[in-house]
Structure 1
Amino acid sequence: MKKLLHEIRNCTLCAEHLPLGPHPVLTAHPDAKILVVGQAPGTKVHNTGIPWNDQSGDRLRHWLQVSRDTFYDPTKFAIVPMGFCYPGKGKSGDLPPRPECAPTWHQKVLSELPNIELTLLIGQYAQRYYLKEKRYKTLAKTVKNYQDFLPEYIPTPHPSPRNTLWLRKNPWFELEVVPLLSERVQCLI
């Protein structure tokens, strides 16, 4: 795993497309039981090198009912986004994760994570990649039908402050899915 993480952290595969240059951000350890698959780092995460080190991460940890120390313990949580580097700014937020990253690296990382019992698929990019044709037409329907993907996956919306309106329009998520999510996480850690 150490050799693979070193290789990933030195990746320059899509450097020409990255406005801030390559800075792959992920954590993984063979003992991890929970895999967190999000989108791609934002600028704060890019600058600090700490995954989910922003308001989105605060909300995610709240959903999971875990402390920062627990969340950043790589023997508990592997954090492997769809894109390891900050992709740049788009019209309404950050650009999508670079398309080269997941196909190049995810299977290699997963093969080094034999103890994963739960994968959180955070946002549409992770859900599209991992659920493929099993996902529903919308993120809301995919998340609403989370039971279809248990026990391996739990799909969630992105915890970004930009999704506060989505959370208000879909109160069932915090009433139904978050309690199950935090319970599963607590059992595994």
Structure 2
Amino acid sequence: MPPRELIDAIDAAIQGGVNMVQLRDRATTGRARTDLAKAVREVTRDRAVFVVNGDPELTAQTGADGVHLPESAMPVSTARQIAGPGALVGRSVHSRAAAASAAGQGADYLIAGTVYPSPSHPGGTASGTAIIRSIVGMVDLPVIGIGGIDASNAARVMGAGARGVACISAILAAKDPRLAAAAIAKHIDQRGSNDDTQ
């Protein structure tokens, strides 16, 4: 997605109810990446929490609210030292052991999955809502579900104990990101079935 189109989509998604935006850009580098991060910071300012994926230096440079770490990335303390003492530090986890480790390191929140099959993680093992239930029961941190989540299943993820859901294609691939975000936001307040087969 071209940068201007992405910024417009983020703006629309926030209008629809998105309250946290993660910049996960593994292709852009250098000045172009910095400029994109600054643009995302501006469109989210005073409207949504903004975190940068895997780059605490860019977090500090652009005034982002935090950094999100992949499961095998640097320690939480290192990321916080680079990003700044007030920065949020989250971590992706795919198991109870990884969740316990991240919590012990002082992570502020966890993104757990993969819940359902997802185009952003092709070939990844989908654990259903069971992974959310197992992690929520052992850590005292906000747990956000990720992986194949959309308006049709967000309520089930919330019903398993998640504090929120992370979506990529369900919003960015939609014809109208604002309406897509609003549809998901409507469902995350509903407690749905925990049936992993649905």
TM-score category of the 2 structures, normalised to the smaller one: 0.3 to 0.5
Q: Which has the higher helix share?
A: 1
TM-score by length of 1: 0.32
TM-score by length of 2: 0.31
Bigger relative contact order, structure 1 or 2 (CA pairs below 8 A, ≥6 apart): 1
Q: Which has the higher strand share?
A: 2
